[in-house]
Amino acid sequence: GFTRDDHCGLPEAFRQADLPALAAREGTPLYVYAAPAIRQRVRALREALSGLDAGIRYAVKANGNGAVLRLLAEEGAGADIVSGGELERALRAGIAAADIVFSGVGKSDAEIALALDVGIGRFNIESRAELDAIQRIAAARGVTAVASVRINPDVDAMTHAKISTGKAENKFGVSIAEARAWFDAKAQWPDVRLDGLHMHIGSQLLSLDPVREALARMAAFWKELAAAGHAIASIDVGGGLGVRYREGEQAPDAREYADAIRQALAGFGGRILVEPGRWLVAEAGIVLTRVLLEKHGQARRFLVLDAAMNDLLRPSLYDAWHDIVPLGAAAARESATYDVVGPVCETGDTFATARELPRCEAGDLVAILGAGAYGASMGSTYNSRPLPAEVLVDGDRYAVVRRRQSLDEMLSGEQPASDWRRT
């Protein structure tokens, strides 16, 4: 069992779960998602958007676990997908094809065909070449593809460069001038119903100013198109709403975000779509990991965990901050300054540098917070480390929603070079 102090820093939704027992039973590293936290977020967003004809299209890339998708689907969310794999996940979770939008700068012919065959709701088109491909594939199948143009509004989202997507130099979307030319030449693509606008300027947005700026540009364009006689049935404002990973960080709340949308799109008679990923799931997930050892290096003191960059890549890739909370006895000890690292053979395999934590010992259990989004979904088996298990907790119950990968599963598909064939 637990005393209350053992939980300090852990989000409310995890406090009913006996995390040490869970770690003992299911092993570590272990992803733990809290169902109530996900439900609470999706409901709060729906509530904030109330009064608008708005639909949530959850960005599956943030966390594509089937149980998480099912939870969101039960709350009425559709999906934003970027690959045939994500389409399969969304459909298997019971999300209706009509409630799925297909984004992404490089859709293959096979993916476009699959999406058309299942009756996907809408494509978010990012290039002239993609528009031509969708026309060709839809015509061959005798169906009409419904599509929006992804606008690149050329605003600085003021987030990490690697997750900023709405500047002219980014690969995403097209300029308003190019989009205008597409609408004017619509008849060239008779099997594409081009009747929507889309944008997504970046992720982990902590200020709404760039969102307002981009929305204003998109709204002005919608009005111009409408005046020119182009019916606009859908405006998709993308995702990007940031969360608070670190004390002192200020994240916008859902109501402010919804108000920005409400204001910019006042008078719009069509459907509004939002594509949040992170905001719905980031804080609903943690990584439970055990301290392998404490190491006094020549210059620094290291805490080596059994989780590594292959399990949670964000600190390595974006220098992202994740709170690290020792559980159990460690929580009560005096503090020390650690570089918190994993066992992978790269210096970049670092979760935190010079982090002040309670003294830890081998075997202590540690929680890495804010791991529900872009955690497991960005995992790999680098260093031949099998993918970790994932569990969903709901009150004091839990269910394994992805079993730990076995070595056989990790190695399946590989074979010796014995079956040689002519190229």
- Smallest separation (angstroms) from ligand LLP to the CB of 4: 32
Asked if residue 318 belongs to a known ligand binding site, the reply is yes
Among 65, 103, 289, 350, binds ligand LLP (CB under 6 A): 103
Catalytic residue, from 177, 227, 266, 345: name it.
345
- For ligand LLP, the closer of residues 16 and 40 by Cβ is 40
Residues touching ligand LLP, count (CB under 6 A): 22
The verdict on whether 345 is a catalytic residue reads yes
- For ligand LLP, the closer of residues 76 and 363 by Cβ is 76
How many of the other CB atoms lie within 10 Å of CB of 43? 13
Window 215 to 254, contacts with ligand LLP (CB under 6 A): 238-241
- Residue in 176, 211, 228 with CA at minimum distance from that of residue 197: 176
Coil, strand or helix: which one is 411?
A: helix
Helices (H) and strands (E) in the chain, counts: 12, 17
- Smallest separation (angstroms) from ligand LLP to the CB of 99: 15
Distance in angstroms (rounded) separating the CA atoms of residues 245 and 371: 10
Site string for ligand LLP, 21-60 (x = CB under 6 A): --------------------------------------x-
163 binds ligand LLP (CB under 6 A): yes
206 binds ligand LLP (CB under 6 A): no
204 binds ligand LLP (CB under 6 A): yes
Site string for ligand LLP, 333-362 (x = CB under 6 A): ------------------------------
Distance in angstroms (rounded) separating the CA atoms of residues 6 and 366: 11
Distances (CA, A) of 286 to 10, 322, 376: 9, 10, 10
- Residue in 259, 258, 263 with CA at minimum distance from that of residue 274: 258
Sign of the Cα torsion 174, 180, 183, 185 reads negative
Residue whose structure tokens are 């009913």: 16
| 349 Cβ contact partners less than 8 Å away, ≥ 6 residues apart | 308, 309, 316, 341, 342, 343
Among 276, 315, 358, 370, binds ligand LLP (CB under 6 A): 276
- Helix 209-227 and helix 254-264: axis angle, to 10°? 30
Return residues touching ligand LLP (CB under 6 A): 59, 61-62, 80, 103, 163, 200, 203-204, 238-241, 275-279, 314, 318, 373-374
Annotated binding site: 240, 275-278, 314, 318, 346, 374
Annotated binding site for substrate: 278, 314, 318, 346, 374
Catalytic residues: 345
